[in-house]
Amino acid sequence: MSEPIRVLVVDDSALMRKMIPQMVERDSGIRVVGTAMDGEFALQKVAELKPDVITLDLEMPRMNGMDALRQIVKKHRLPVIIVSAHTTEGANSTFKALAMGAFDFVAKPSNGASAHIADIAAQLTAKIRAAAQSRTRPTPSFAVPEFSKVQKVSRPKSAPSRVVAIGVSTGGPNSVQYVLSRLPADFSGSILIVQHMPEGFTEMFAKRLDTTCSIDVKEAKSGDLLLAGRALVCPGNRHMKVRRAALGNMVVLSDEERVNGHRPSVDVLFRSVAQEFGADSAAVLMTGMGEDGAEGMGLIKAAGGMTLAQSAESCVVYGMPRAAIERGYALRVSPLETLPNAIQSLCAKSAVAMAMS
């Protein structure tokens, strides 16, 4: 029998220092070995207790979570899961922490409803397990783009050469930023993104991407048109589908039941894209836990679309791409470093094909 995963909980809230151990120790394979109320105590406990995984609050007295994270990543190379507040400031700090090397994040419980607590407990447990496994894998070697605003170039609104649907989960914020920031302003495709992320965070995620990318990025709303050079991010706790329409192809959001345990679900998006755009579509599965998106990718392949999966060595968690690859649904496997060029090439080829038809 393997040893339980050793977890250190860092939070200035006494309630959270009590609640998090209760949530995760329902899993017999996880044991909370200690708690700390600020960053300074956390660093002492890391050296003393040698945990496998750390959960970390960012807003704390004395040494805050960001300063503690910087030292944990640099000195100890331990996976850190951010437990983040449901606020604009909290979301912004969370994305900064992910860029600094945090493994993933969960949102702090915003109410005491048992269903809500159970959902967060399940997420946190799964992410602790994935984080512990990540310690045995090489760290992906890619540089997260510096957060700097890009000067936007205005361009006429036009129909895209191809619709590219991207599904991503753990490790996604940095990886998606890497890909989108390397697409040119005259990119001819339209991108749709399902990132497993709670509501309240996707809007900030889209805004952050928009400021660092030459293409336009926004959180999707029902009726938003699929345009060349535009990326739409599915809001947290919604599903995103596409619809062909006389006045322009658009996205439609829905509140249907979870699929594969997720809302948004990658499979929901991929299935819709396959039905509506067929051979004019592409599916990209990137780093993430679980199997969401694998079957949807199979439908896009069957419809004549292109399918790409991120390679194992460049994933933070090699779950979603592996599920599609093992089922034979990925026509191409690419490391993260070459995904931007692969996507750009696909859309450029489609534009040439459309011009010749």
Q: Which domains does the chain have, with CATH numbers?
A: 5-134 (3.40.50.2300), 163-356 (3.40.50.180)
Report pLDDT for 351.
52
Which residue ranges of the chain lie beneath pLDDT 70? Answer: 1, 110-115, 135-148, 349-357
| The dihedral formed by the CA atoms of 59, 62, 63 and 65, expressed in degrees to the nearest 10 | -10
Report pLDDT for 251.
98
Taking only the tens place, the pLDDT of each residue in 289-345 is: 999 999 999 999 999 999 999 999 999 999 999 999 999 999 999 999 999 999 999
Q: How far apart are CA 302 and CA 308, in angstroms?
A: 14
Taking only the tens place, the pLDDT of each residue in 80-97 is: 999 988 777 888 899 999
Report pLDDT for 109.
76
Count of positions (residues) in the chain: 357
Output the DSSP codes for 142-169: -PPPP--PPPP--------S-EEEEEE-
Active site residues: 169, 196, 292
For helices 339-356 and 172-180, what crossing angle results, to 10°? 50
Which amino acid would we find at residue 92? Answer: N
